[in-house]
A and B are shown apart, each in its own frame.
Chain A
Amino acid sequence: MTRRNLILSSAALAGAFIAPSARAAFTEGTKLPDLSTFGLSGTLPKTEGKVIYLDFWASWCAPCKASFPILNQWHEQMNVHGFSVIGISVDESEEDMTRFLKKNRVAFPVARDAAHKLVATANVSTMPTSFIIDRKGIIRHVHSGFHKKDEPVLFAQINQLMAQR
């Protein structure tokens, strides 16, 4: 084997391990990309000038289900004041998502990331993961998982961003 072949093989091997972790992730302080460019199915609300709670969920994820009554409450309370929850379903099957939405009341807009393009770009570490975005479209807080005890913290963070103009 020539030295050139050896180098190429090594590079390919290294690339196979490095490439998946080299994806851009949604991190605090970065701008939320235009969601309409990710091929989501469903209608997304206008996000300009709004505080957004972007929630990645799945029908098979129990904590996601547990978070929905609280997200409904927030959305209904503050939607008129420039706040919106946007649920992004990562269900592979549309039927699973539809069945879930029929059983569980969801007051906020939901879109489905069937190709997992958006969730892979966000590179979430667990389900659910949520991103709180300010009125300027900057991701300000990232939350992994959902516990009932997180509710006051999340609510305070949302209110703080709502107060900013």
Chain B
Amino acid sequence: MKALRLFLALSAVISGVSCTQVKPWERGHLADYLMRPGRDPLTDSVNEHVWFTREAFAGGRGVGGGGCGCN
């Protein structure tokens, strides 16, 4: 029981250490062109239009910004 508690406590500490944010200056890889879900703006806008037409709904597809930490 004591060993189990110790294991759980250590696990909590280790997982706590592993929780970290990607800082704005570390987002070079996230901002890479290859990381974009849609790489062709024209195709994206056509898909958006089709989606809007079928669902009568606009927006809500992801969030602004490419993860580069820019505004």
Q: Show the binding face of A for B, using Cβ within 8 Å.
A: 1, 5-6, 9, 12-13, 16-17, 20, 56, 58-64, 90-93, 96, 116, 119-120, 124-129, 144-147
A-B contact sample (17 more), CB < 8 A, given A16-B17, A116-B23: A5-B9, A9-B10, A9-B12, A12-B16, A13-B13, A17-B19, A58-B28, A62-B68, A62-B70, A63-B71, A92-B28, A126-B70, A127-B24, A127-B69, A128-B70, A146-B71, A147-B71
B16/A61 in contact, CB under 8 A: no
B44: chain A residues within 8 A (beta carbon): none
A61: chain B residues within 8 A (beta carbon): 31, 68-70
Q: Show the binding face of B for A, using Cβ within 8 Å.
A: 2, 5-6, 9-10, 12-13, 16-17, 19-21, 23-28, 31-32, 68-71
A60: chain B residues within 8 A (beta carbon): 27-28, 31-32, 68
User: Could you name 18 residue pairs across A and B whose Cβ atoms are closer than 8 Å?
Assistant: A1-B2, A9-B12, A13-B16, A17-B16, A56-B25, A58-B28, A59-B28, A60-B27, A60-B68, A61-B31, A61-B69, A90-B25, A92-B28, A119-B23, A120-B23, A126-B71, A127-B25, A145-B70
Bound complex: CA of A16 vs CA of B2, how far in Å? 24
Q: How far is the CB of B22 from chain A (nearest CB, A)?
A: 12
B67 to chain A: closest residue by CB: A60
B21: chain A residues within 8 A (beta carbon): 20
B2: chain A residues within 8 A (beta carbon): 1
B33 to chain A: closest residue by CB: A60
Give the contacting residue for A144; candidates B26, B27, B71; CB below 8 A.
Answer: B71
Contacts A62-B68, A63-B71 given: A5-B6 contact, CB under 8 Å? yes
A116: chain B residues within 8 A (beta carbon): 23, 25-26
A88 to chain B: closest residue by CB: B25
B28 to chain A: closest residue by CB: A60
A144: chain B residues within 8 A (beta carbon): 71
B19: chain A residues within 8 A (beta carbon): 16-17
